[in-house]
Structure 1
Amino acid sequence: MQRDDDVLVLVAHGTRSPRGVEMVAALAEAVGTRVGRTRVAFVDVLGPSPSEVLRDTPGRAILVPAFLASGYHVHTDVRREVAISEHSAVTVTPALGPDPALARVLLRRLTEAGWSPGDAIVLAAAGSSDARALRDVERAALMLAEAAGIRVDIGYIATGEPKVADVVAAARVRGAKRVFVASYLLAHGLFHERLHAAGADGVTEPLGVDPGVVDLVVNRYESARRELVSLNDVSLRNADVCRPGRRSS
């Protein structure tokens, strides 16, 4: 069941990197070819903000947080933006990560960067002071380890310890001949650029506009729509049963 007034609002962190902004826009465009109207908002660095986009969005909005872990931005910023928008019909889906689909994308990115079985892997995440986000990164590392069939260590780029360069160095101390960094970032920006100074033999591209990421955004949106349709059907049935003069069997 398609509603013509449904809008997918893709909410990303935001970056000063023009290349990163273009990548988020390209992701939204790719998603839009599958689901219809898709808009982009950012919670930090640049606009428009989610509340601005929602205030300018008539009809029902399904907001998909384009975050790889659920920390402060997902639990606090997104909820606050929805509240101050005063939009009457907003559904917020789970964040993109962690998810086995992203692990498969990461493995493809590693292969593209020259990784082969036997090479060490360091999952590089931005980091967070939110314990929930750190747990999500740990789950992402386990999913990648299962997909790759080897141990995956975690390094943080900005907030948190250990740093990516230290984890790369530790892998070499353990005897790894080659070490590859899997960039657990959605788009290009300062954080991704820092990874090239971590001393690894290769660094993957950000997750970006991989078909697996597009599929995941679409799945988040469609799952939310199916749930809304199901809830609406239940409400209609309950209203019918409770209608004055209606006899229930």
Structure 2
Amino acid sequence: MTDPALLLVAHGTRNPRGVEMIARLADSVSRRVGATRVAFVDVLGPSPAEALRDATRPTVLVPAFLASGYHVHTDVPREVADSGHDAVSITPALGPDPVLARVLLQRLTETGWRPGDAVVLAAAGSSDPRALRDVRHAARMLSALVRSTVRVGYVATGEPRVPHVVASLREQGARRVFIASYLLAEGLFHTRLQDAGADGVSAPLGVTDSVVDLVARRYFTAARERVSSRSVR
């Protein structure tokens, strides 16, 4: 039986470093699971539908999103339907996940965060309450690791905005405030965090062995479930 292909679907960005990061993630995943293609739901192409129309094998689609909002719940299934491909398994989004919480802690530590410093989890934001709920879940996971309450701030959509949260923590007496960038790659949103008034801004999650393992785990779980469902029939 042929193993399914993997299609990694990201949001898309005009920032070339963000595009390069997604390409590096796909390359790293390919070394674990085999050839991995990339598609984007916005800004760039190919779209998931375009990528799937060219696919000749069953495909596992992994949404490279840190929360499940409109893109994951609506755009991705619509693109799959539009493609006409009848053998696509869609995995859960990458986040929230304990793996990502540990990478966030690593990025914070690299930035100079120390126990006792206040932390703001900075997410892009969404008008979808399901995505906002996922971000709050991610903040709770990080809170458990830093052993203090992590506040949530949004960069583009949703309230409160990151600068407001940073200023509020200062008013409450926080001596040092650090921003944990809950973004996968560099781009406009991450750039905005530099002006939010924090003592440090962590790098985006980026390509780490842990993130690559997480994508591979999503793929292998879906592939096994596909084999199991076929055997039951």
- Provide TM-score, normalisation by structure 2: 0.98
Match of 1:52 in 2: 50
Match of 1:152 in 2: 150
* Separation (CA, whole Å) in 2 of partners of 1:209 and 1:69: 18
* Separation (CA, whole Å) in 2 of partners of 1:144 and 1:230: 35
- Secondary structure of residue in 2 paired with 1:47: coil
Q: Cα distance, 1:94 vs. partner?
A: 0.3
Matched letter for residue 189 of structure 1: G
- The question of whether the paired residues in 1 share the 8 Å contact of 2:117 and 2:176 is answered with yes
Match of 2:26 in 1: 28
- The question of whether the paired residues in 1 share the 8 Å contact of 2:65 and 2:93 is answered with yes
Match of 1:78 in 2: 76
Q: Cα distance, 1:210 vs. partner?
A: 1.5
Matched letter for residue 185 of structure 1: L
Q: Cα distance, 1:211 vs. partner?
A: 1.4
118, 121, 125: which is aligned to 1:120? 118
Map 1:86-235 to 2 at 5 A: 86-235=84-233
* Separation (CA, whole Å) in 2 of partners of 1:99 and 1:115: 21
Matched letter for residue 163 of structure 1: R
* Separation (CA, whole Å) in 1 of partners of 2:138 and 2:30: 27
> Which blocks of at least 5 consecutive residues in structure 2 are unaligned?
none
C-alpha offsets along residues 132-181 of structure 1, whole Å, 9 cap, x if unaligned? Answer: 00000010000110121111000000001111001011111111111000
Match of 1:66 in 2: 64
- Secondary structure of residue in 2 paired with 1:208: coil
* Separation (CA, whole Å) in 2 of partners of 1:119 and 1:161: 23
C-alpha offsets along residues 187-225 of structure 1, whole Å, 9 cap, x if unaligned? Answer: 110000000000101001111101111111000000001
What count of residue pairs does the alignment treat as equivalent?
233
* Separation (CA, whole Å) in 1 of partners of 2:116 and 2:66: 26
Matched letter for residue 39 of structure 1: R
Match of 2:6 in 1: 8
Moved more, 4-13 or 90-99: 4-13
- Structure (1 or 2) with the larger CA radius of gyration: 1
* Separation (CA, whole Å) in 2 of partners of 1:213 and 1:58: 27
- Secondary structure of residue in 2 paired with 1:197: coil
Matched letter for residue 129 of structure 1: S
> Which blocks of at least 5 consecutive residues in structure 1 are unaligned?
236-249
C-alpha offsets along residues 27-61 of structure 1, whole Å, 9 cap, x if unaligned? Answer: 00000000001000000001000000000111110
Moved more, 12-21 or 223-232: 223-232
- The question of whether the paired residues in 2 share the 8 Å contact of 1:6 and 1:37 is answered with no
- Secondary structure of residue in 1 paired with 2:12: coil
Backbone CA RMSD of aligned residues: 0.8
- Provide TM-score, normalisation by structure 1: 0.92
* Separation (CA, whole Å) in 1 of partners of 2:153 and 2:187: 17
- Secondary structure of residue in 2 paired with 1:44: coil
Q: Cα distance, 1:229 vs. partner?
A: 1.4
Q: Cα distance, 1:4 vs. partner?
A: 3.8
